A and B are shown apart, each in its own frame.
Chain A
Amino acid sequence: MGTRDCKHISAMASPAVGEVGKTGEWRQLRPVIDYSKCLAAKKNKPHCFLCWLYCPEVVIKKAIPIEIDLTYCKGCGICAEECPAGAITMVAENASRDQDRPTNVE
């Protein structure tokens, strides 16, 4: 069975999370959050959230504490650049290994 069954004649898709694949696999640098510095985490109430506002991939959850979805984070580093508290550090993916790191990135 071929792709003709989709009946499309041009590229299209319904908007959905992960529409172009697990883009976190493209990441070279990984954001690491220091919650002891993050203003929202420290105050334990909604605050700042500039990382959430600036993230071009919309992968930062406006929560306490904030969460970054590493499945789709491309590692651009804008959150680290914008964080007024210096709470986010970009770490080379090949410098450390942990469970957040996609297994197929070398």
Chain B
Amino acid sequence: MLHGIKTGRQMLNNENHDTLIITGNEAAATGAKLSQVQVIAAYPITPQSPVTEKLCQFVETGELNSEYVTVESEHSALSVCIAASSIGARVFTATSANGLAYMCEQIHWAAGARLPVVMACVNRAMAAPWNVLNDQQDSMSQRDAGWIQMFARDNQEILDLIIQAYKIAETVYVPVMVCYDGYILSHTVMPVEIPEQEKVDQFLPPYKPHTILDPADPRNLNQVTLADPRPEASGTICHGYMELRYLLQEALDHSLETITDVERQFASIFGRSRGSLLWDYKLEDAELILMAAGSIATEATAAVDELRHQGYKAGVLGLRVYRPFPKQALIEATSQAKLVVVFDKSLSYGNEGPICCDLKSALYLSNSRPAVHGYIAGLGGRDVKARELVEATLDSIRCLDNEQHVRKSGWINCQI
């Protein structure tokens, strides 16, 4: 992909836009800058740190007219974003692993308060033991908080997803976490088309909050809300806790359509599309599907080429949106398959890989229910090679040939 192009910060001339050779972290920061974020609060943590550094640089040089709030922790970073979003500012934060865990309380708060916060989660393994390398345990551990979670598979998609995330979040009033693999994407340079600011502004109008905290019209926001609906002072019957949680779930359900619409609008303005809820590779006639989220799904395309070479009708199903889980799209995409092999870079300990588990749940309602085999791969930065994905898939095929439809998750390249 980089053949004939000098690496580094060289700008490539193109007809309508600039192409920069940048890391995933620079792509995320540039996406936030193009989205004209008004308040940034982030605390540096490996491998996310260059995102904060780049944004500081944008603000310091005046390239980005934004308030950068330095904080003493990730909990405070997201708290600042929540407060700023509540008064009508477009906000951005970014973190990884233990930083995300430290935000946990506020992650739930941002969703419950229905604030369109956008966060980059640079996926990293959770301690203990300490490990700064990539897997997806951090964001997966926050899957039930009520955020939309999307996975990028290359640096272009990181930039594009950040911009799209604001449009989605500000339409359905649900925060969005844009996840991308630490180091594999965050620190790897790739050519990234940088859209013109005017086009981004055309795509992304200014943020209109659902409620603005304004001294002239004081409100209690997210006040104590107990079990049952209750009249406020004016006599209006207001939601109880359960009604508000129903609305959050309803918004996530509706966001499936919004995400698809936003991708369509993005494609019409910027001329590129990376799939909406899912993306695929050689899936049309595939009886054998390799499924994953993030960069490992890109690796699976190389595995599929090898499997095709060996005579298997194989294809890749990439999960672009993990929450809300695109059940119907998955039922349709797997309707011709005999076997789906899922590679999870995280684990719901005591159960199995979360994507594998959720896929099985979705396919319970499918008329054509393919076998689903799960593999745990790449924990704590363990390298995953296309060859290993091929071997795992062939192993699953052998199991099916032996009528073994249900089996425990396999662990790829675990040398225990």
Interface residues of A (CB under 8 A from B): 1-6, 8-21
Contacts and interface: CB of A to CB of B under 8 A. Distances in A.
B210 A10 contact: yes
A8 B210 CA distance: 9
A13 B238 contact: yes
B232 A16 contact: yes
Interface in B197-242: 210-211, 218-226, 229-230, 232-234, 236-241
Contacts of A9: 114, 173, 210, 244, 247, 251
Contacts of B262: none
Given A3-B237, A3-B240, A12 B218 contact: no
Nearest to B213: A12
Given A8-B238, A14-B220, A15-B219, A21 B211 contact: no
Closest 5 CB pairs between A and B? A16-B233, A13-B232, A11-B225, A10-B114, A3-B239
B112 interface: yes
Contacts of B232: 13-14, 16, 19
Nearest to A7: B236
B103 interface: no
A14 B218 contact: yes
A43 to B, nearest CB: 37
A80 to B, nearest CB: 25
Nearest to B221: A12
18 contacts: A3-B239, A3-B243, A8-B239, A9-B114, A9-B247, A9-B251, A10-B114, A10-B210, A10-B211, A11-B112, A11-B238, A12-B219, A12-B221, A14-B234, A15-B219, A19-B223, A20-B224, A20-B226
A20 B238 CA distance: 12
Contacts of B223: 11-13, 19-20
B113 interface: yes
Contacts of A15: 218-220
Given A19-B223, A19-B232, A12 B211 contact: yes
Contacts of B173: 9
Nearest to B211: A12
Contacts of B225: 11
Interface in B286-319: none
A12 B222 contact: yes
B73 to A, nearest CB: 25
A6 B241 CA distance: 14
Given A10-B114, A10-B244, 19 more contacts: A1-B237, A3-B239, A3-B243, A9-B173, A9-B244, A9-B247, A10-B211, A10-B222, A11-B225, A11-B239, A12-B220, A12-B221, A14-B233, A14-B234, A19-B232, A19-B233, A20-B223, A20-B224, A20-B226
Contacts of A18: 233
B218 A6 contact: no
A11 B227 CA distance: 12
A41 B240 CA distance: 43
A14 B219 contact: yes
A83 B113 CA distance: 40
Interface in B241-256: 241, 243-244, 247, 251
Given A3-B243, A19-B232, A10 B112 contact: yes
Nearest to A16: B233
A18 B230 CA distance: 12
A20 to B, nearest CB: 5
Nearest to B210: A9
Contacts of B244: 9-11
B237 A6 contact: yes
A16 B233 CA distance: 6
A18 B232 CA distance: 9
Contacts of A19: 220, 223, 232-233
Contacts of A2: 243
A87 B218 CA distance: 37
Interface in B305-354: none
Given A11-B244, A12-B219, A14-B220, A6 B238 contact: yes
Max chain B CB contacts within 10 Å: which of A1, A2, A8?
Answer: A8
B227 to A, nearest CB: 11
